Amino acid sequence: MFLFHFPKDSERKWSVNYIWLTLIIILFSQVGCKKLVQISDPTNTITTNETFNDSIDAASAIMGVYSKLVNTRKLLYIANGGATVYCGLSSDELINFASSSDITQFYTNTLNSNNTFINAYFWIPAYSCIYQANACIEGLSASKGINQNTKDQFIGEAKFIRAFLYFYLTNLFGDVPYITSTDFNHTSGATRTPQSQIYQAIINDLKDAQNSLPADYSYSGGARTRANAMAATALLARVYLYQKQWSDAETQASKIIGNSNTFNLTMDLNQIFQLNSSETILQWQLNTAYDPYNATTEGVNLITRNANSAPYCYLSPQLLNAFETGDQRKAAWMKSTKFAGKTYYYPYKYKIGPTQKSANADPTEYYMILRLAEQYLIRAEARAHLNRFSDARADIDSIRLRAGLSNTTAPDDADSVLAAVAQERKIELFAEWGHRWLDLKRTGQADATLKQIKPGWAAYQQLYPIPQSELVNDPRLSQNSGY
Amino acid sequence: MPKQLLKAMKLMIFFLIVVCLHVSAAGYGQKGTVTISGKDLPLEKVFNVIKKQTDYVCFYGYDVLQNARPVSLNFRDADVQEVLKAALWGQGLDFSITGKTITIMKRVMAAVGPGPSRTIKAVGVVYNEAGQPLSGANVTIKATGKGTITNAKGGFELPAVPEESPLVISFIGYAPQVVKVNEGKEMVVYLNLAKNELDKVVVQAYGTTTQRLSTGNIATVTAEDIEKHPSMNPIAALQGQVPGLVVTQNSGYASAPIRVELRGRSTINPNLIAEPLYIIDGVPLTVLNLAGDNYNSGSQGLTQNGFSGPAGGQSPFFSINPTDIESITVLKDADATAIYGSRGADGVIIINTKKGKPGKTKLELNAYSGVSKVTNRFDLLNTQQYLAMRREAFKNDAIYGIAPDAGNAYDLLVWDTTRYTDWQKFLWGGTGKTVDVKVGFSGGDKLTTFRVSGDYHRETSILSYSGADQRAAVQFNLMHKSLNQRLNVSFTSFYSYTQSDLISLSNQVTLAPNAPAIFDAEGHLNFGGWDPISDQYPFGNILQPYTARTGFLNSKLSLQYEILKGLNFSTSLGYSTIHNSQIQIFPIASQSPVLSPLGSSNFGNNNIANSIVEPQLEYKRVISGGTLTVLAGGTLQSVSVDGNTIYGSGYVNDNLLKSIANAPTKDASDVAGQYKYAAVFGRINYSWKNKYILNLSARRDGSSRFGSGKQYGNFGSIGVAWIFTEEQWIKDHLTFLSFGKLRASYGLTGSDQIGDYKFLTRWSSAGIIPYQGSASYVPLQHANPNLEWQVNKKLEGAINFGLLKDRLNIDLVVYRNRIGNQLVQYPLPTITGFAQVTANLPATVQNAGWEANLRLKLIEKKDFALSFDLNAGSNRNKLVAYPNLAMSPYASRFTIGKPLNIVKVFHYLGVDPQTGLYTFLDKNKDGIINNSLNNTDDRFDRDLSVRLDGGFGTDIRYKNWSVNLFFTFRKREIKSSIYNGYPGSPVNQSIQVLNHWQNPGDYAKRFARYTTLGDATDQNYYNNSDGVYSDGSYLRLRNLSISYDLPVNWTKRAGMQSCQIYFRGENVFLITKYNGIDPEAQGLGTMPPSKIFTGGLQFNF
C-alpha cells in the first residue's frame, strides 16, 4: 500500500506530498455528487409504474384485492364473515356467547365509536381494498404496456369490488366518504357523501363492469372466483332492489335466473356452499397452500370444536322459531352443541369447522359471495311490488321446493306476498352476509322488530358509528347522530 | 542506510534505555550526594555510580558518548551537579536536570542575537511519560504568545526566544509545563498526564479535547462507572449518569431494547424515534427501523424483520461487553454534535473500547457471580376476596339483564372455587444467576501497543420458567507508529456472540387466583382443565421457547500520516456487521388439543451492516499567540439492513420443528432497507492563550432518504468559550476561583430520522397469499416525493466553575432546542388507504431546560478519600407552533404551548355515594361529559414528561477499602399500576379495590361498584381521567459497590500487581410515593426490575 512508501529525500517528499494533497482534494470534490446518496430501488417491492407496466404484474395487483378480501388470517373481516356474524348479532339472528365488550356491543346495539371491530374489521379493510381498487383503476388507465381488452377487464373487476364494498359501507354506516383517488392530498380531508350519490356511483361502476367483463368464467379457468358480468348483474339486481327500482331489479335478476346454462339451484342443501356449485355466482377462493387448513373463516369461527364445547355465537330463539315444520334447511344448515347443561344451535351452512378442517387438503368449500337463491328472492320481491303476484309466488316456491316445503299460500296482495318474501329471505339467507340486518333496515321493520327483543333499542342504532380515529384524523368527517 | 532510519533507530534505542533506566530507578530512597573516586573512569561508569548512590537517573542517546573520553574524579558527598560538571568538562557535552532526571546531550551552538533584546534559539523534544514523542504539542513563548507545534518526532525549534522568557509546553490531556530555555542545549521535556478532571482527555467529534478547552457540551462516563453495574447492557449503565439523558429499559429481559432520549421529545410523531447517533470505535451503529416503531417503546433494536420475540426486540448493545469499554461520551449541544450533521441531531453517544498502553505486559483476570431476586410483589386479592368481587359484580349487573353463566362466569361456575395460587410466587419465585469471567492482556512498547481480551457472561432471570442469556466476546486493539513517527496505524475490533433463550411469561400474575393448575395430573399442559376458556390457556408459552443467536463484529482501521509539520492526513475505515438468527417453536403439545393443532415454527434472520470511510485533513499551527486547528473531512456511510422470517406450519410431529425444510407449508416475508449518507465538513478552532476559544463548523449533508432534489442540506454551528480565570483582573480579585469558563453555542442540524424509501410507491407480494394461483400484490404506503430535511436549531449557554483548587467543580447549562419542519408519520384517515404518510409538518417543537453537574473531592489523603458527584437535568418540552392545529389530526392530542407528552383527561371527582359510579368534573358546564376523543371540552392536560432526572453518588476510600453508592432519581407522573381493567372482570386486582362502593350511602370510596361490564361508561371515563395517574417519582439506590484491595506485600508475594475483592448490588432499594410497587413496572402484574447482588475477584499481573 502506498501509505507505507516512505520518501527518502526532501525533494521526493514534497512531490509525494503534493500527490497526496491532490488525491485528497479529488476525493473531497467528489462528495456532493448525487450518486453518493443514490440507493438502489428496494429489492422486495416494485413501484406503481412497474406494477402496471405489464399485464402479469397488473393481474397480480388485481389478485391482491381478492386476496385481501378473503385471506384475513381467520379473522371475521367485512368481506370474509364479518358481515355475517356481526350484522347477525345486531339483528335478531345471532346471540354472542363470548363476552368481550367489542362483540357484545353488536348484540346489545350499544356500539361505541371506539369499538375495535368496527374499525379494524369493517372500516379499515373496506377502505384499504377500495384504495387498492382505485390504484388499479388509475394505474391501468395510465398504463401504456397493457392492451385495451385486458385493461378493461381488470378495471371492470376493480370497479365491481369497489361497488361491492361501498354497498356494504353505505348500508352499515349511512353516508360515507366516496373515494375514487389514491392521492392523499385530496382524500385526507374528504367529507361524507350522501347515500344517494354513493348508490348512483355503485350503479355506474356495476354497469361499467357489466359492459367490460365477460359473462362466463373462462378467464378464471372455469372457477367462479373472479367477478364477471354475471356477478356485476347479480349485485346490480340487489342494488336496484334496495333502491326500490323494482323493474330494474326484476330485469337484472332475470338475466341471472334466465341463464340456466350456467346457474341452477343446487338441490342438495348440503352442496350449495361447495366450491363452484351450480348456484354460485361468485365465491372467494380459499388457498390452503399458505394457510394449511381447508376451512372458511366462518366455519372455523362458528362451528364448535365438539358437541360439548361452547359456541362463539348461537342462533336466537326468534330465528329458530321462524322455521316452518318440515323445513329441511333446519336440519341441513344448523347444528347444536351442549355446553354446561344448555343446548345451543349454531349456523352450519359451511361444514368444515376447526376440527373438521384438515391440513393441506384441497378445500371443498369456497366462501360464497353471491348465489342464485338470492336472485329468485330479489325478483320475487320486485315482482310483488310490480303486482305480478303469481310470478312472485313462483320464485318463492322455487326456493321453498328445495327446502322440502309446500308452495306459499300468500294471497294476491302486495303485503302478503312481500311478507312471504321477507319470511323466505329470513330463513334462506340467515347467517349469510348480514342479509337479515340489511333487510330489516331497508324495509323499515328494524325498529318494530328489534324493539321487542333488544332492551334500550333506539332508531339511531340502525347505523354503526364512524370509527373514532377517523373523526380524529379527518376533522371534516361527522359522526352519525346518536353516537 | 538512509539518514532518517538511522535517526529513528537511535531514537528508539534511546527510548529503550530510558524505559530500562526508568524502571530500574523505581523504588530507591531519596539520596542526593555522590562519593566517587578513580582514574580514567568511563562516563557510563560515572553515571552508574550516580544512579546507584542517588535517585537521579541519567538519560543519553548512544552516540552522545561516542567521542567521550574517560575522566578522573575524586569527590566525597558531593553534589550531583558538581560531579557532572567535572565529568563533562571539555567533552562538548551538557546536562540538564528535570525532577530526578538528568539528561546528557551534545552541546548545541547558540544563535546569538544582537543588542539589548537578545534572543536565543530553543531546540527541544517533547515526550510523554512513556517516552513516546508527542506530535502536535504546543510550544509557546510565554512572553509573546508566539510559538510553534512539535513535529512527528516531538521535536521543535524556535529560532528567537527572548532570553529571559520561559516556554510553555502543552498538549491535550497533559499537564502543561513551563520550562526555561537553556542556551545552546537541546531541551527534553516530559509531559505528565493531567490528574485533574478539567485537563483529562475527553473524546469529541473527530478528535479529543478537555473539559477546560471544549466549547461544546460533552459528558463522559468512564470505565469504572460502567463496570460497577452488573447489567449485561452497557447503555443501561448510563441511567442517571448524564444530565439530560433519560434511559429506560423496556422490559425485564436482559436483551430487551433500551430507549434513550436526550433532552426531551423532539418529534411530534408518535411512530418515529429520535435516538442519538451511536458510534462504536468510530463506526456508527445505525439500524434502520424497518419494523415500524413507536415513540413510547423505542426501537426494536436489531430485530427488524417483524419477529421481535418475548423481549420485544433486542438491543444491539446487549452484544457489547461493558468491561471492554474505556469510555462512553455523550455529545449534546450544537457545537459538539454539528460535525456529525443530521445523524447527530438527537445527540451522539460515542463508545470507545479499551486500548493498550506501553509498558510491561499486563494480565488481568476478573470473575464474578451473583444472584437476582424479585424486588417486590403486588398485593393481590386472594381467592375468597376475588370470588366475592366477581359475585358482587354480577349482582350489580343484574339490572342490565346480565346473569352469570358458564360463558361469562366460568371462574365461579365451572372452575374449582376452593383453589388458590399465588401466581406471583409461582411465576416470579425463581432466583436469577449471573456468572462472568474475563481475561485481558495488554502492553507494548513505544511504537506498538496492543490489548486483547475475552469475556464470558451468563445470566438467568427471576422467572420460574426461563432460559438464559449468554455472551462471549473478544476484543483486540493494535496500535503502531512508524519509526519516523509520521505514520500511525491503529486497528480495533471486537466480536461477540450472544444467545438468548427466552420464554414469555412475565405478565400472567393477575390470573384469577382460583384458575386451574398449569399442569394436569400427567404433567401435560392443562388445557382441558381451563375449559371453557381453554383457548385462552396462558401457559402454552412454557413449551414455546424462543432462541436468538447474534454475532456482532465491529472493526476499524485508522491511518494517520503527517504530511508536513502540523498537517495530518487521516482516514478511518470502519465496518460493523450484525447477524441475528431467531427461532421460536410452537409444538403441538403447547396448543389446545381440542383444536387438533399442528406444530409450527417461526424462523427469523436479521442482518445489519454499516460501513464508513472518513478521510480528513487536519492542520494545526500557532498564529498570533493562539492555536489554530483546521479540520476538513468527508464522510461516506452506507447502511444496509435486511431481514426475513419464515413461518413453517403444518408439522405433524414436534420433533422436526427446528427444521424449516420439514415444514409442510412455509410462509416467508422479508424486509430490506438501504441508507446512504454523504457529507463534507469543516471545522475551524482557534484558541487564544487558552483564554478565548472560537469553534466554527460547517457541513453539507446528503441523505438517501429524500427524493430527488431534496437530498442535500447545509448545516453548521458556532461555539465560543471564555476562560475568564485566565484574565489577570479575575486572578487578582477572585482568588477563590481556580477555574471559570463561560461558553455558548448555536447551530443548525438536520434530521432524516424516517424510514427509507418513503418517497417511493411500493407494491409487494410479501406475506400476501396468492389468489387463483397468481401472485398477489398490495400497495404498502403513500409515497411522498416532497420530503425534506427536518431542521433542529440548538442554542446553549453554560458556565463552569472550579473552586478550592479545582476540588469542587460546578457546571451549569441552559439550552433551548427548536425542531422545525418536523418529519412525521402524519396520521391520515384510513379512507385515504393508509393510516399515515411520512411528511414534513410546519410545526415547531421546543425543548428547553437546564442541566447541572457538581463534583466535590472533599478529602483527598493517602489513606482516606471522600468525594461526591451530583448530576441533574430538567427539560421542558413545548409545542411552540402548529399552523391550523384545530383542523389537524393532532387537534385532540396536542395543545400549543404544552408539552407533547400530555394526555387529555377528565378530572375525577370520586365515587357517587348513591350509584357507586365514578364521577367527573363537567368542565364546560354543559351538563354532559363528552367522551369522544376529538371533543376535549371536558378534559384537562396532564403532563407525563420526565420533569427531573439525574443521579448522585459518593466514593469513600479508606486504606484498602472502597465504598461507592450511586442513587438515581426521576420526577414524573405516570399511570398508576393499581388499576387493572375494571374490578369485577375475571382478572385479579390489587387489594386496594376492597375499598369500593357496595351500597347506596357508601361515602368516599376509592373504587366504584364492581362490574363485569368492560364498556361501562364510567369505567371508560375513569380510565381516561386523572384518577388513574400517580406520582411516579422515585429515588433508587441503583448501585452499591464495596471493594477491598489486598495489601501490596501479600499480592507481591503471589506475583501479582494487585488483587481486589468486590461486592456489588443493583436496585438495592427504592423510595417512591408511586401507587404500585415500582414506577418502572407500570401496569398491575408487570415484572418489576430485579435486585441483583454480585461478588467477584479481580487479579492484575
* pLDDT at position B592 over 70: yes
B889: chain A residues, CB-CB within 8 Å: 472-475
Top-ranked range on mean pLDDT: pick from A190-194, B176-180, B289-293, B841-845? A190-194
Q: Is the pLDDT of residue A12 over 80?
A: no
In the predicted model, is pLDDT for residue B914 greater than 70? yes
| Listed residue (B168, B177, B183) closest to B118, CA to CA | B183
pLDDT tens profile B886-911: 878 788 888 899 999 898 889 999 99
pLDDT at residue B483 above 60? yes
3-state secondary structure of B1026: helix
Specify the pLDDT at position B419: 92
pLDDT band of residue B756 (cuts 50, 70, 90) is confident
Test B776 with A97 for CB contact under 8 angstroms: no
Dump pLDDT digits (tens) for A160-210.
Answer: 999 999 999 999 999 999 999 999 989 988 999 999 999 999 999 999 999
Q: What is the pLDDT of residue A6?
A: 41
Nearest-CA distance B586 → chain A (Å)? 15
Answer yes or no: is pLDDT of A9 > 50. no
Contact A129, A68 (CB under 8 A): yes
Q: What is the mean pLDDT of chain B?
A: 85
Strand B283-284 relative to strand B359-374: parallel, antiparallel, unpaired? unpaired
Burial of A40 per CB tally in 10 Å (0-12, 13-18, 19+): exposed
Distance CA B944, CA B246 (A): 14
* pLDDT at site B1051: 86
- Closest Cα to residue B753, out of B658, B681, B680, B821? B821
Fill in the DSSP letter of residue B302: T
Q: What length does chain B have?
A: 1101
A44 with B672: Cβ contact below 8 A: yes
Please report the pLDDT score of residue B335 as a whole number: 84
| Mean pLDDT on B602-626 | 90
**Minimal CA–CA distance to B553: which of B577, B588, B533?**
B577
**Omega into B532 within 30° of 0, i.e. cis?**
yes
Whole-Å CA distances, B183 to A174, B120, B143, B189, B537: 101, 6, 17, 15, 91
- Hey, of A99, A132, A136, A192, which one would you mutate to test binding to chain B, going by the most B CBs within 10 A of its CB? A99
Q: Nearest-CA neighbor of B831 among A479, A474, A116, A196? A: A474
Res A111: pLDDT: 92
Locate B874 and state its grid cell: 430538567
The residue with cell 397468481 is: B774
B889 vs A474: CB contact, 8 Å cut-off?
yes
Residue pair B792/B750 in contact by the 8 Å Cβ criterion: yes
Chain A residues touching B413 at Cβ < 8 A: 340
Q: Is the complex ipTM more than 0.90?
A: no
* Residues counted in chain A: 483
For residue A293, pLDDT over 80 is answered with no
Single out the residue of A306, A354, A301 nearest to residue B597, CA to CA. Answer: A354
pLDDT of residue A2: 36
What band does B31 get if pLDDT is binned at 50, 70 and 90? low
Partner A contacted by B761 (CB < 8 A): yes
CA dihedral sign of residues B1019, B1025, B1026, B1030: positive
Q: Which of A182, A355, A360 sits opposite B596 (nearest CB)?
A: A355
For the ranges B393-407, B533-547, B573-587, B1015-1029, the one whose mean pLDDT is highest: B573-587
Task: Give the distance from residue A366's alpha carbon to the nearest chain B alpha carbon, in angstroms.
Answer: 12
Q: What share of chain B is helix, strand, coil (3-state, %, to 5)?
A: 15, 45, 40
Distance of CA B143 to the CA centre of its chain: 44
Q: Is the CB of B1 inside 8 Å of chain A's CB atoms?
A: no
B380 forms beta bridges with B990
The shortest CB-CB distance from B680 to any of A6, A31, A70 is to A31
What's the rounded Cα separation, in Å, for the pair B631 and A28?
Answer: 13
End-to-end CA distance of chain B: 40
Q: Could you tell me what percent of chain B has a pLDDT over 90?
A: 31
Alpha-carbon distance B1068 to B1054, whole Å?
Answer: 35
* Residues β-bridged to residue A67: none
The answer to whether the CB atoms of A31 and B636 lie below 8 A apart is yes
Confidence of residue B837 (pLDDT cuts 50, 70, 90): confident
pLDDT of residue A406: 95
Contact (CB<8Å) B932/A471: yes
The average pLDDT across A225-234 equals 96
Tell if the CB–CB gap between A479 and B932 is shorter than 8 Å.
Answer: yes
User: What is the rounded distance in angstroms from the CA atom of residue B925 to the CA atom of residue A347?
Assistant: 50
Q: How far apart are CA B885 and CA B1020, in angstroms?
A: 26
Dihedrals phi, psi of B962, to nearest 5 degrees: -130, 135
**Count helices and strands in chain B by DSSP H and E runs:** 11, 53
Residue with cell 329468485: A376
- A contacts of B768 (beta carbons < 8 Å): 64, 67-68, 71
| Closest CB to B649 among A17, A188, A292 | A292
CA A354 to chain centre: 22
Nearest CA in chain B to A52: B763
Beta strands, E only, A305-361: 313-315, 334-339, 342-347
Residue contact B889–A475, C-beta within 8 A: yes
Residue A17's pLDDT is: 58
Least Cα distance to B337 among B790, B749, B636 occurs for: B749
The whole model's pTM is what? Answer: 0.77
What burial letters (b/e) apply to B409-439, b meaning 16+ CB within 10 Å?
bbbbebbebeeebebbeebbebebebbbbbe
Q: Which residues of B touch A289 (CB under 8 A)?
A: 665, 769-770
Q: What is the mean pLDDT of residues A376-394?
A: 96
pLDDT tens digits, one per residue of B638-658? 998 889 999 888 888 889 999
- Measured between beta carbons, the chain A residues lying within 8 angstroms of B632 are 28
Q: Does residue B597 have a pLDDT over 50?
A: yes
Q: How far apart are CA B221 and CA A384, in angstroms?
A: 86
d(CA B820, CA B267): 9
CB nearest A473 (choices: B667, B771, B829): B829
Residue B310: pLDDT band (50, 70, 90) is: confident
The residues pairing with B1045 across neighbouring beta strands, listed in sequence order, are: B1060
* Contact state of B771 with A67 under an 8 Å Cβ cutoff: yes
In 3D space, the residue among B1081, B964, B1092 whose CA is nearest the CA of residue B231 turns out to be: B1092
d(CA A222, CA B147): 93
Contacts of A210 (CB under 8 A, 6+ apart): A229, A232, A233, A236
The CA distance from B143 to B137, in Å, is 18
**Chain B residues with CB inside 8 Å of A66's CB?**
771-772, 776
Search chain A and give the residue with CA nearest B643.
A44
Contact of B980 with chain A, judged by CB distance below 8 Å, is answered with no
- Going by their DSSP bridges, the two strands B101-106 and B57-59 should be labelled as parallel
pLDDT for A238-268, tens place per residue? Answer: 999 999 999 999 999 999 999 999 999 999 9
Q: Residue A153: what pLDDT?
A: 94
- DSSP line for B476-494: EEEEEE-TTS-EEEEEEEE
The pLDDT assigned to B350 comes to 92
Which of A63, A117, A288 is most worth mutating to test chain B (most B CB atoms within 10 A of its CB)? A63
Phi, psi of A311 (to 5 degrees): -80, 160
Closest residue in B to A479 (Cα–Cα): B932
- Taking CB atoms and an 8 Å limit, are A39 and B675 in contact across chains? yes
Measured in angstroms, the CA of A317 and the nearest CA of chain B are apart by 17
Return the C-alpha cell found at B482.
Answer: 512508524
Sign of the alpha-carbon dihedral angle for B782, B786, B788, B793? negative
Q: What is the pLDDT of residues B760-784, one digit of tens each?
A: 888 888 778 888 888 889 999 888 8
Q: State the CB neighbour count (10 A cutoff) for residue A411.
A: 11
Those residues with Cβ within 8 angstroms of residue B868's Cβ, 6 or more apart along the chain or in another chain: B854, B855, B856, B858, B952, B953, B954
Decide which of B115 and B135 is more confident. B135
Residues 6+ apart with CB under 8 A from B876: B264, B847, B848, B849, B899, B945
User: Residue B17: what are its φ and ψ, rounded to 5°?
Assistant: -65, -45
When pLDDT is cut at 50, 70 and 90, the band that residue A361 belongs to is confident
> Alpha carbon B331 to chain centroid distance?
11
Question: Using 50, 70 and 90 to split pLDDT, how confident is the model at B603?
Answer: very high
Integer Cα distance of B947 and B944 in angstroms: 8
CA closest to A73 among chain B residues: B769
User: Which one-letter DSSP state was computed for residue A81?
Assistant: I
Instruction: Check CB contact under 8 Å for A310 and B676.
Output: no
pLDDT at A21: 57
Instruction: Answer whether B779 sits within 8 Å of A8, measured CB to CB.
Output: no
Rounded CA separation B351/B588 (Å): 45
d(CA B497, CA B458): 12
Question: Cα-Cα-Cα-Cα dihedral of A287, A293, A294, A299, to 10°?
Answer: -120
Contacts of B678 in chain A (CB under 8 A): 31-33, 36-37
Contact B2 A8 (CB under 8 A): yes
| Chain B stretch 78-137, residues whose beta carbon is closer than 8 A to a beta carbon of chain A | none
For residue B831, the 8-state DSSP code is G
pLDDT of residue B7: 53
A422-431, B76-85, B193-202 — which one is most confidently predicted on average?
A: A422-431
Asked if residue A382 lies in contact with residue A250, where contact means CB atoms within 8 angstroms, the answer is: yes
Cell numbers placing B436: 462472568
Cβ distance of B828 and A179 shorter than 8 Å: no
What confidence tens digit (pLDDT) does each residue in B947-1003 have?
A: 999 999 999 999 999 999 999 999 999 888 887 878 888 899 999 999 999 999 888
CB < 8 Å to A226, chain B = 772
Residue B742 has pLDDT above 50, yes or no: yes
**Residues of chain A found within 8 Å of residue B151, distances taken between Cβ atoms:** none
Task: State the average pLDDT for chain A.
Answer: 89
Banded model confidence at residue A414, pLDDT cuts 50, 70, 90? very high
Question: Where are the extended beta strands (E) located within A43-120?
Answer: 94-96
Cβ contacts of A127 on chain B, cutoff 8 Å: 830-833
Instruction: Give the pLDDT of residue A22.
Output: 63
Q: State the cell numbers at B136.
A: 502536535
Residue-level pLDDT at A32: 47
The residue in chain B having the minimum alpha-carbon distance to the alpha carbon of residue A60 is B776
pLDDT (tens digit per residue) in A121-162:
999 999 999 999 999 999 999 999 899 999 999 999 999 999
Are B794 and B347 a contacting pair, CB within 8 Å?
no
C-alpha cell at position A262: 350456467
CA atoms of B272 and B640, how far apart (whole Å): 19
Q: What is the pLDDT of residue B113?
A: 45
- Across B334-346, average pLDDT: 81
B674 to chain A: nearest residue by CA? A39
Residue B892 to residue A8, Cβ atoms within 8 A: no
What pLDDT score was predicted for residue B109? 52
Question: Which stretch of DSSP H or E encloses residue B568?
Answer: strand B567-586
Which of A57, A134, A359 is opposite residue B598, by nearest beta carbon?
A359
Q: pLDDT value at position A3? A: 36
Please provide residue B645's backbone torsions phi and psi, each rounded to the nearest 5 degrees.
-130, 140
pLDDT value at B70 more than 60: yes
Binding-face residues of B in 587-606 toward A, CB within 8 A:
594-596, 598
pLDDT value for A4:
38
Nearest-angstrom CA–CA distance, B804 and A472? 60
| A contacts of B407 (beta carbons < 8 Å) | 97-99, 310, 339
- Residues 826-855 of chain B with CB under 8 A from chain A are 827-835, 837
Q: How far is B619 from chain A (nearest CA, A)?
A: 12
pLDDT at B9: 46
Q: Is B532's CB within 8 Å of A340's CB?
A: yes
Decide if B157 touches A, using CB distance below 8 A.
Answer: no
Task: Please give the Cα distance from B319 to B325 (Å, whole number).
Answer: 12
